[in-house]
Chains A and B, each alone.
Chain A
C-alpha cells in the first residue's frame, strides 16, 4: 500500500461491504455459538425476527416517522435561524464581537442536561423534543457558519471591490458562494449530531419514537428490539448522509477535491 493512493470505486464499495459482513459474522458466532448469554445480546436472527414483529405488529414505522419528523423539524428550525445570524457574524466583525462570546459559551451547554428543565417548561410534548434538538444544534451551527463565511480569501474580496462591487454585493456575491460548500458540509455534520439528541430526548419522558421503543424493550429485556432500533437509526443516518453528500457534489461541482 502506498500512502494516499486512491482506490477504484468498485474496490471501495467491496471493501466497505466486507466490513459489514465481517461484523455481522463475528456477532453471529458470538451469539449463536453460545459465547454470550442470550439475555444480554440477541443473535442477528432473533434481531431480524423481533424487528419484523415490531414493524408488523407494534406499528414501529410510526415511531420511526415521528422521530424523523422531530429531528428534521428541530434541525430546520435551528438552521433557519442560525444561517442568517452566522452569515452576519462572519461578514460583520462588530456583530461577531457582540454575539460570539455568548454563543461560544452556549455551545458547551450539553443539550441533554436541558431535558429536565425543558420538561418543566414545555411538558413532554413535541415542543420539548424540538427544543432539545434546537439547543443542541443552533449554537454549533452559528459558530461554524460564521467561521466558514469569515474565512474567505482576502484577495478575492479585494478583486471584487476593484470590479465595482458594493459592500453588500461582496457579501452576497463573494462571501456567500465562497462559503456555500462549507456550510452544506456543516449542516450535514450537525444533522448527524441532532440524531443523538433526539434519541436521548425520547429515552426520557416520551410516549413515541425510536428512543421510546428502546426504553420499553429494555424493561422487557428484549435486546433484539433494542439492537433493531439502533440499526434503524444508523441506517437513516447513513442514508441522510449519503443524500447530503450527493446533493453537495451536484450543487458545488467547482469545490470537489
Chain B
C-alpha cells in the first residue's frame, strides 16, 4: 500500500467579484510509496503549490480525496511537515526554539525537546547559531532551520514548496546535497515542488511533470541514479540525458501556455 494516495484531487477557486472561477488543478491521481522522494516539476501557475497545500490540509480540495496511511486528510496536522518558499520562521523565537516549536505543541518535556532540537540544528549545519534570532541569519540558514523544524516533528511525510527558490545557485546546490543526505540517512517520504529541472532530477527517486494551467500530470519518470549521489552526478551522461528529456517536456508546456 502506498504511503500517500492522492485520488482524483482537483481544485476550483470560486469566482470573486467579476473574476471568473479559476481552475487551478484538474483532478489528479498520484500514489507515493514509503520513503519515496518525489519531485513535482511544472511551469509557474500550474497548481503545484495548490496540490501541496491540499496534501498539507491548508487548502480543501474541490473534488477527490487524499489518504495518508489509509486515513483521509481533513486538515493540517503534525504528521505532514511543510517547508514554504517564503521564510516562515517565527521571528520572536530563537533558532533552537523555532526547531522545537512542534515538539512543544505536542507537550514534549523541555529537556527532551531541546535535545532533539539541538541534534537537528547540528544535522542541518547550524551548530553555534542556536540562540540567534531568524533575522540574524542568511536566507539559506533560515531555510535550513525551517527544514529542521519540520523534521524535528518526525512527520510521516515532508512537503517542500520551492524551498530553495529564493537562494543563489551555490547555496542552492549545497542545500540540495544537504537535504538529499538527510533523506539517504533518515529515510523519509518526501514531496518536493520545484520548477528547476536539475534540482528535480538530482534529489528525486521519481519526477512528476505537470502541464500548464490547469495542471494535470503529464509524465511520471523514475530516476534510477545510484545513491549516495555526489554533486558530480549532475554531469554524468545518464543525468544529462534525463535532463534533456525533462527540459523538452517542460518547454512544450511553457510555450503552449503563451
Contact = CB atoms under 8 A, between A and B. Distances in A.
Contacts of B56: 158, 162
Given A159-B82, A159-B84, A254-B135, A164 B90 contact: no
Contacts of B159: 162
B105 A169 contact: yes
**Is chain B's interface secondary structure helix, strand, loop, or mixed overall?**
loop
Contacts, number: 70
A174 B88 contact: no
Interface of B: 56-58, 75-78, 80-82, 84, 86, 88, 90-93, 101-102, 105-106, 133-135, 146, 149-150, 153, 159
A180 interface: yes
Contacts of A252: 92
Count chain B CB atoms within 10 A of each CB in A156, A159, A160, A161 and give the residue with the most. Answer: A159
12 contacts: A158-B58, A159-B90, A162-B57, A162-B82, A163-B78, A163-B105, A164-B77, A166-B105, A169-B105, A174-B90, A178-B90, A254-B134
Contacts of B105: 163-166, 169, 173
**Size category of the binding interface on chain A:** 20 to 34
A155 to B, nearest CB: 5
Given A158-B58, A161-B76, A162-B58, A255 B92 contact: yes
A253 interface: yes
B121 to A, nearest CB: 16
Interface string A230-257: 0000000000000000000000111100
Interface string A173-213: 11001101000000000000000000000000000000000
Nearest to A159: B88
A177 B90 contact: yes
A173 B92 CA distance: 10
B130 to A, nearest CB: 15
A158 B78 CA distance: 12
Contacts of B90: 156, 159-160, 174, 177-178
Given A161-B76, A252-B92, 20 more contacts: A155-B86, A155-B88, A156-B90, A158-B56, A158-B76, A159-B90, A161-B57, A162-B56, A162-B80, A162-B82, A162-B159, A163-B149, A163-B153, A164-B105, A177-B90, A180-B92, A254-B92, A254-B133, A254-B134, A255-B92
A180 B82 CA distance: 26
A160 B101 CA distance: 8
Interface of A: 153, 155-156, 158-166, 169, 173-174, 177-178, 180, 252-255
A156 B88 contact: yes
B133 A164 contact: no
A165 B82 CA distance: 13
A160 B93 CA distance: 13
B91 to A, nearest CB: 5
Contact of B78 (A164, A177, A178): A164
Contacts of B82: 158-159, 162
B201 to A, nearest CB: 27
The 4 A-B pairs of least Cβ separation, nearest first, read A164-B78, A163-B102, A161-B76, A162-B82
A255 B93 CA distance: 11
Contacts of A164: 77-78, 102, 105-106, 153
A143 to B, nearest CB: 23
Count chain B CB atoms within 10 A of each CB in A156, A160, A163, A252 and give the residue with the most. Answer: A163
Nearest to B101: A163
Nearest to A163: B102
Contacts of A253: 133
Nearest to B132: A254
A73 B80 CA distance: 49
Nearest to B91: A254
